[in-house]
Amino acid sequence: MTELLNTLYVQTPGTSLRLDGDTVRIYHPDQPGRHLLPLVRLDHLVLFSGVTPTDDLLLRCADDGRSVSWLTGSGRFRAGLIGPTHGNPLLRQAQHRAADSPQRQLPIAVAIVAGKIHNARQVLLRTARDTSGPRQTALRATAELLAQRLELLTTTASTNEILGVEGIAARDYFAAMPYLLGDNTDWKASGRNKRPPTDPLNCLLSFLYGMLRVAVQGALEQVGLDPYIGFLHAVRPGKPALALDLMEEFRPLLADRLALTMLNRRELTPTDFEELPNNAYRLTDNGRKTVLAAWQQSRQREWPHAQLNRQVPAALLPLVQARLLARHLRGDTVAYEPWTVN
Amino acid sequence: MTDDHPEDSGTDLREVPLSALEHYAYCHRQTALIHVEGVWTENVETVRGDLSHTTVDLPGIQRRRGLTTIRSLPVWSHTHGLRGICDVVEFEKNAATPVEYKVGRYKPGGPAELQLGGQALCLIEAGFDVPTGYIYSVAERRRHPVPIDHDLLERVIAATAAVRRLLHTPALPAARNDTRCRRCSLREDCLPELTDGQRQTPPDLLTPRPLGQWRD
Ligand code: SF4
């Protein structure tokens, strides 16, 4: 089993990071003392605005193939560090060829959407199990609806149709958010809205999707896949289509469920969000700290992986799936199988 | 680790890194994963390997009573299209003695000998006598002599040609999925249970499934 490596998230402005032998030295004027982390235990550095790494540290990360990403306060990806790509042109070539050939592309796109729907149903069924009355009925009804959407995938003949099914299923699922949120009156769910999010749930989801996105993109880069050439999402300049593809199967269980748990258990309160004059919501510094801590902790959790027939920590799932995709694209396996929890 | 730079070598042969010989002796797929796919898993073993190398990785020359010891010596063979770096070579008069450092215990006839033989081949082409090489086991803290004989050199030449064919083949060899995989540092990338060429049945993705057994 690959050793579970950590991602270092640094969000306090004014923090500096420097290379000290084989460790990172973390320094902030308000937090005296020595904070050292061995580099061998880190596979990714995620830095928010106002954090300054030295060039020694960045170059060392580039040499070792360790990812470094910069994010905005709301979790949007701003930049990444890429080392000398001594990656694998044959894999990229296979990826591009598969993306160009409907017989190769469509089954992968179907697998991605099917994986997402399976996992979304799990979120619904799991919550339904512990509830009763109309709430349970509503959750089960949405799970049934998603089962029907899944069957629509048997007849899809183009990525447009597959995206269509994905869109309908996402709408059904987000319409059930109020039932997933429960009777906690602090929050109300109003379907998915983004850019900017106009309620706390959406604000939280956007942030967690941002975390998921850097994790997935880091995993793709690590195995040498091109994050910009996808199978489901359309290829457009500046859009990491493959990262968006691979994120789909993880969203419900790794991001949505964490968001719902945090709100339902009141680990976050309305004061962790600020409402801006234009109704947009964003996390406060404190709220972001709480969310990052919860995200870090959720990454340690082990999940069943049916294809590998073992438990895999959440932090490694993107890497495992990126490898499975790479192995499929290189002709080692007959199909790409998404990660589903059952 | 060595890179493959055919354009700046004096040979038309596609060069084979010396380290690939050792990988090839271990597992053909491993060779392709490292030298074609660019996969390199830094697991505990390789990290430890790097640490043991740090002392020999620093280029350096030491002279003592007619014996010259050179660390990190670049070597090549135009005839066989080989290139690499020797951990340590000791020169005395016209004889050269390569010493290859390995983390684990010495295994007679093991893959490391092929790599040592490759180094010897390069040193012979450079005009030295190479009667013996050594494999230094860091675990045992001692060196084991390996006679550089005709048989070893023949095996090196055959393996070099085989690796070159592998580097030219776009498809990857199937995984062996045997006991060797257990100790292989590339296991997580290779996924031998899924890539051993036994055709897997595609999963049924479109039938709804009941609530899984995952714990909360
Ligand atoms: S896991 Fe097994 S098949 Fe794969 S590279 Fe290692 S030894 Fe070869």
Q: Which member of B170, B175, B205 has the closest CB to residue A110?
A: B205
pTM: 0.84
Angle at A117 between CA A144 and CA A170, to 5 degrees: 85
Percent with pLDDT over 70 in chain B: 85
| Chain-chain contact of B210 with A342 (C-beta, under 8 angstroms) | yes
Which one is predicted more confidently, B11 or A96? Answer: A96
| Chain-chain contact of B212 with A308 (C-beta, under 8 angstroms) | no
- What pLDDT, on a 0 to 100 scale, did the predictor assign at position B1? 40
- What pLDDT, on a 0 to 100 scale, did the predictor assign at position B2? 41
Q: 3-state secondary structure string, chain A?
A: CCCCCEEEEECCCCCEEEEECCEEEEEECCEEEEEEEEHHHEEEEEEECCCEECHHHHHHHHHHCCEEEEECCCCCEEEEECCCCCCCHHHHHHHHHHHHCHHHHHHHHHHHHHHHHHHHHHHHHHHHHCCCHHHHHHHHHHHHHHHHHHHHHHHCCCHHHHHHHHHHHHHHHHHCHHHHHCCCCCCCCCCCCCCCCCCHHHHHHHHHHHHHHHHHHHHHHHHCCCCCCCCCCCCCCCCCHHHHHHHHCCHHHHHHHHHHHHHHCCCCCHHHEEECCCCCEEECHHHHHHHHHHHHHHCCCEEEECCCCEEEEHHHHHHHHHHHHHHHHCCCCCCCCCCCCC
How many Cα atoms occupy the beta-carbon half-sphere of A296 within 13 Å?
A: 15
Lowest mean pLDDT among A32-41, A261-270, A318-327: A32-41
The answer to whether the CB of A146 falls within 8 A of the CB of A120 is yes
Nearest-neighbour CA in chain A from B195: distance (Å): 5
Question: Backbone phi, then psi, for B77, in 5-degree steps?
Answer: -135, 115
Nearest-neighbour CA in chain A from B66: distance (Å): 37
Would the pLDDT of B3 be above 50?
no
Per-residue pLDDT of B151-194, as tens digits, reads 999 999 999 999 999 888 888 899 989 998 988 888 888 999 89
| Chain-chain contact of B38 with A88 (C-beta, under 8 angstroms) | yes
Lowest mean pLDDT among A29-33, A57-61, A207-211, B81-85: A29-33
Angle at A127 between CA A124 and CA A129, to 5 degrees: 105
Q: Name the residue of chain A whose CA is nearest to B187's CA.
A: A1
| Chain-chain contact of A332 with B44 (C-beta, under 8 angstroms) | no
Would the pLDDT of A28 be above 60?
yes
Could you give the C-alpha distances from A205 to A70, A122, A163, B31, in angstroms and in order?
19, 18, 21, 43
Q: Which atom of ligand 1 is nearest to the CA of B186?
A: 6
Cα(A94)–Cα(A101) distance, integer angstroms = 11
Mutate to test the interface with A, among B176, B185, B196, B205 (most CBs of A within 10 A): B205
Cα(A55)–Cα(A205) distance, integer angstroms = 33
- What pLDDT, on a 0 to 100 scale, did the predictor assign at position A154? 87
**Mean pLDDT taken over chain A:** 87
Give me ligand 1 centre to Cα B182, in Å.
8
Cα(B102)–Cα(B112) distance, integer angstroms = 8
Per-residue pLDDT of B109-159, as tens digits, reads 888 999 999 999 999 999 999 999 999 998 889 999 999 999 999 999 999
Q: Which atom of ligand 1 is nearest to the CA of B27?
A: 8
Residues sharing a CB contact under 8 Å with residue A290, sequence separation 6 or more, in sequence order: A262, A267, A268, A272
How many Cα atoms occupy the beta-carbon half-sphere of B216 within 13 Å?
A: 10
**Sign for the pseudo-dihedral over CA of A27, A32, A36, A42:** negative
User: Which mutation among B28, B29, B183 tests ligand 1's pocket best, with the greatest number of atoms within 8 A of CB?
Assistant: B29
CA B137 and chain centroid, separation:
15
What spatial distance separates the first Cα and last Cα of chain A, rounded to whole Å? 21
Would the pLDDT of B56 be above 60?
no
CB-CB neighbors (< 8 A) of A87 in chain B: 38
Mutate to test the interface with B, among A91, A317, A332 (most CBs of B within 10 A): A332
Residue-by-residue DSSP string for chain B:
-----GGGSS-SSPPEEHHHHHHHHH-HHHHHHHHTS------HHHHHHHHHHHHHHS-EEEEETTEEEEEEEEEEETTTTEEEEEEEEEEETTEEEEEEEESS---TT-HHHHHHHHHHHHHHHTT-B--EEEEEETTTTEEEEEE--HHHHHHHHHHHHHHHHHHH-SSPPPP--SHHHHT-TTHHHH-TTTSSS-PPPPP--SS---------
CB-CB neighbors (< 8 A) of A333 in chain B: 194-195, 200
Within 10 angstroms of residue A275's Cβ, the number of other Cβ atoms is 14
Give me ligand 1 centre to Cα B193, in Å.
10
Residues sharing a CB contact under 8 Å with residue A253, sequence separation 6 or more, in sequence order: A119, A122, A123, A303, A341
